[in-house]
Copies of this chain bind each other. A is one copy, B any other.
Amino acid sequence: MKEGPDITLLGSLIGDPARANMLTALMSGKALTASELAAEAGITLQTTSAHLGKLEGGGLIRQRKQGRHRYFTLADEDVGSLLETMMGLAAKKGHTRTRTGPKAPALRKARVCYNHLAGELGVQMYDSLLSRGFLLAQEDEDMLILSDQGRDFIADLGVDISPLNQSRRPLCKSCLDWSARRSHLAGSLGTALLEHFYHKGWAKRIEGQRIVEFSRPGEFSFQKLFPLQT
């Protein structure tokens, strides 16, 4: 990182795509491990480690050890609001850019975000569930409520969520999608739905990659189940 005025370091830290992806992922407020961040950014763990070191050195993130995990969060609210300011300005300036996002278009379309579905299809599913009142968003929170109709909808799918309610893990959470900067569904329900798609044979995970590949009929079923509202 070169010399220059104070803002140079800050800018160059945010200016790297891998780091920007990590920071965007952390904007959800969740504490994420290095491995999760690596998956989000689509890079290896070694590279991630180097990036995390720089981000921490720059005071943008904090880490807290817990067992053999290291959980990373944004350093403080100031960092979050700076990122939000930048996102707002970028959107205003129409820097929608070609939005190539991850390495490949396939990654952009559908990928795992740790254990749930992200990418265009993930965002579509989230929007669809929300617009039909199956999921209810909370103010200022990334927690979501599954409505009664939502419960019915899930039950009709053949997904049993009764064991999920026992777990301490939240059922529904929204997770920021870095390629679209829109939310997709996380939480144990998000995981269960992705598992459901695998189980139904609609989609399968590409070995060793984050890409989730839908079969032709699988995507058709998905589209019928989670239609985009016009």
Contact = CB atoms under 8 A, between A and B. Distances in A.
Interface of A: 2-18, 20-21, 23-24, 58-59, 78-79, 81-83, 85-87, 89-98, 100-101, 178-179, 181
B14 A10 contact: yes
A89 B10 contact: yes
B11 A12 contact: yes
B9 A97 contact: yes
Contacts of A89: 10, 78-79, 82
Given A15-B15, A58-B95, A90 B7 contact: yes
Contacts of A78: 89, 92
Given A11-B15, A12-B12, A92-B78, A5 B85 contact: no
The 4 A-B residue pairs with the shortest CB-CB distance in the complex, in nearest-first order: A4-B17, A12-B15, A11-B14, A11-B15
B85 A6 contact: no
A56 to B, nearest CB: 11
Contacts of A179: 5
Contacts of A11: 10-16, 20, 86
Contacts of A24: 5, 7
B10 A13 contact: no
A24 to B, nearest CB: 5
Contact of A9 (B9, B13, B21, B95): B95
Contacts of A21: 4-5
Contacts of A23: 7
Contacts of A59: 93-95
A22 B11 CA distance: 14
7 contacts: A5-B178, A7-B23, A7-B90, A8-B15, A8-B17, A9-B90, A11-B13
Nearest to A100: B3
Given A78-B92, A93-B59, A95-B59, A86 B20 contact: no
A21 B6 CA distance: 10
A164 to B, nearest CB: 31
Nearest to A101: B3
Nearest to A96: B6
Contacts of A178: 5
